[in-house]
Structure 1
């Protein structure tokens, strides 16, 4: 399997998150960037929010992006997403313009926990410890390491 964290692979993923040209593609790219979990990925998610939250009539994957950013922040101990959570922020402005407003969610935490549980269950069932996890991916800990070789 190619190195998923190479600069070329990451830049390809980053380009694909803007804007999704296939249904649900942006959601998958957000999940992948959470898997990488580097500061560079948090910065990209921030740029996406800066760009698309200003477009009040656009509903791409803003909920996925904010959840991914908050997840990366919690794992890294960073605060890239903090400015989107204050009253009057870009998130508030965009959210108020939507037909159904909602607060930023931490569903990416649950999604990653689910992926990790599934990885563990399949690893156990198949008798393959770690399912041959990509070594580089496992260096990030149990963040979202469901990448198989």
Structure 2
């Protein structure tokens, strides 16, 4: 198992962008969004870092473990670094890092194109039939967000009373309303995107 402390270049980028203030923990739970003081400080530094991190540094983070990948995906999303679309899609479909996938879905939603929607569709086709693990809820929320923005219906094949989304959700929360949960997930992604817009424009 790799340890960044034994790799000087990787350690430097992890210590600069991932671990200060336990940033990766905040990105995993997003509690900073409900704390006014933390929201501003966190958003400002995240926006600044999203613009200053280099491609080589992002490549190091994306090639490491979930904390690094989650942080990298938020930095990529904040600055809309669309050159990473294919890499993000590849990592999402690999589904190797729990938690990191939420960041990948956010990045694709933030890029905001049909191409990003198709990557999310590919993921949902592959993983909604599975119930063991994955980021199916984040992917569905990101896809619903893109549909709302683009005026498309990419999510339609997954919806419906007994569609793949409803069946997947029943395995996790049998009494949940699939349409209401989808709308809640879309609003989460929308909140993240608005947050990025707010602080990136101020940087």
Please, what TM-score do these two structures have when normalized by structure 2? 0.52
Shift of 1:5: 1.3
RMSD: 2.4
Q: Does the CA contact (< 8 Å) of 1:19 and 1:60 recur in 2?
A: no
Cα distance in 2 between the residues matched to 1:119 and 1:94 = 32
Aligned length, in residue pairs: 121
Matches within 5 A, 1:18-37: 18-37=93-112
Deviations along 1:73-105, one digit per CA (max 9) or x if unpaired, are 000000000121212211122223x14233242
Which range moves more in the overlay, 78-87 or 15-24? Answer: 15-24
Counterpart of 1:86 in structure 2 is 160
Counterpart of 1:71 in structure 2 is 145
Counterpart of 1:112 in structure 2 is 190
Larger Cα-atom Rg: 2
Shift of 1:19: 4.1
Counterpart of 1:15 in structure 2 is 90
Segments of structure 2 that go 5 or more residues without pairing to the other structure are 1-50, 56-79
Deviations along 1:107-138, one digit per CA (max 9) or x if unpaired, are 34344335524753x57xxxxxx234xxxxxx
Cα distance in 1 between the residues matched to 2:92 and 2:196 = 25
Instruction: Kindly report structure 1 stretches of 4+ aligned residues shifted beyond 6 Å.
Output: none
Give the direction of change, closer, same or farther, for the CA distance of 1:100–1:19 in structure 2 (3 Å limit). Answer: farther
Segments of structure 1 that go 5 or more residues without pairing to the other structure are 124-129, 133-149
Q: Does the CA contact (< 8 Å) of 1:34 and 1:68 recur in 2?
A: yes
Cα distance in 2 between the residues matched to 1:114 and 1:31 = 8
Which range moves more in the overlay, 15-24 or 110-119? Answer: 110-119
Cα distance in 2 between the residues matched to 1:118 and 1:42 = 19
